[in-house]
Amino acid sequence: MRPRTLQQLTGWVVTAGMLWAAGVMPSNAMPGAAGDLQREVEQRLEREASIGALVRTHTLEVVVRDAEVILKGSVSTLWEKEWAVERARDTAGVTSVISELRVVEPESDAVLVTAVGQAIARYPHYTVFDYVTGRIANAVVTLRGEVMPQQDKTGDLYKLVSRVPGVREIVIDIDVLSPGIGDERIRSALMRSLFGNVAFDRYRGINPGLHIIVRNGYVWLKGGVYDEADKILVEIIARQTFGVIRVENELKARHELEETARYLRNVGVGD
């Protein structure tokens, strides 16, 4: 399956690998202390409604061998898998946890492209001075880009994507930009110049489309704008901003983004 790109979507790797434990006693035959520990783990897991339902229907199975817990079965999201492992590990008396949990496969990477894009778009702290792109292949999501240091944006984005059904692994390769005084002055000046202009009112708010990365006086214009006129005007304003050393204009007008989307559909990227 060929990778499919995401616009507007940074290292941590979470692996959804399968571990096999041979000779494990069935969960319905846990004697004595092992049975007590099994019930304690199951009760902790049932505190999360979605996972509790999996435990009660035996879709998620808890097996105990001495003080070792093996989690078996399938879950809908990577978040559920990690949550279950952490709750089992935190249970008193448990010395180790082996995860054989499997994240249910998505319909296709194309479906994940839409779902992950929507999850990122809902992030309330994604601003004009952040830029994150994504790549999906075989249900593995790779996020790359740059974000401002306010909030734990890399952690927040990871949590958002981990809750998307079908995502089995996340690779984050996001740089946190420096809050240096010089770059902050450039960002403030760009905000005044751009959003003091009524032509750019359409780019206000969450996930504005237009993104500006400032690093040590260098400016990268990324994302999408309405038309060629906006694309040119943003570059002019950036070049005229005091303190800017160089401007790289990587903006795409709406018609360019639409042409790219049509091309990807026609060649079947992600199939």
Three-class SS state of 201? helix
The CA distances from residue 160 to 46, 58, 60, in Å, are: 22, 27, 23
pLDDT at residue number 2: 47
Which H or E run contains 253? strand 252-253
Q: What does the radius of gyration of the chain's CA atoms come to, in whole angstroms?
A: 23
Task: List per-residue pLDDT tens for the chain, 271 residues long.
Answer: 445 444 434 333 333 332 223 233 344 444 457 788 999 998 888 888 778 788 877 788 999 998 899 999 999 999 999 999 999 999 999 999 999 999 999 888 888 988 998 898 889 998 899 999 888 999 999 999 999 998 899 999 999 999 999 999 999 999 999 889 999 999 999 999 988 887 787 777 656 688 999 999 999 999 888 889 899 999 999 999 999 999 999 999 887 766 655 544 444 444 3
Strand bridging mode 4-6 / 60-65:
unpaired
pLDDT at residue number 262: 56
Q: According to DSSP H, which parts of the chain are helical? A: 32-45, 49-56, 78-89, 109-121, 153-162, 181-195, 228-239, 254-267
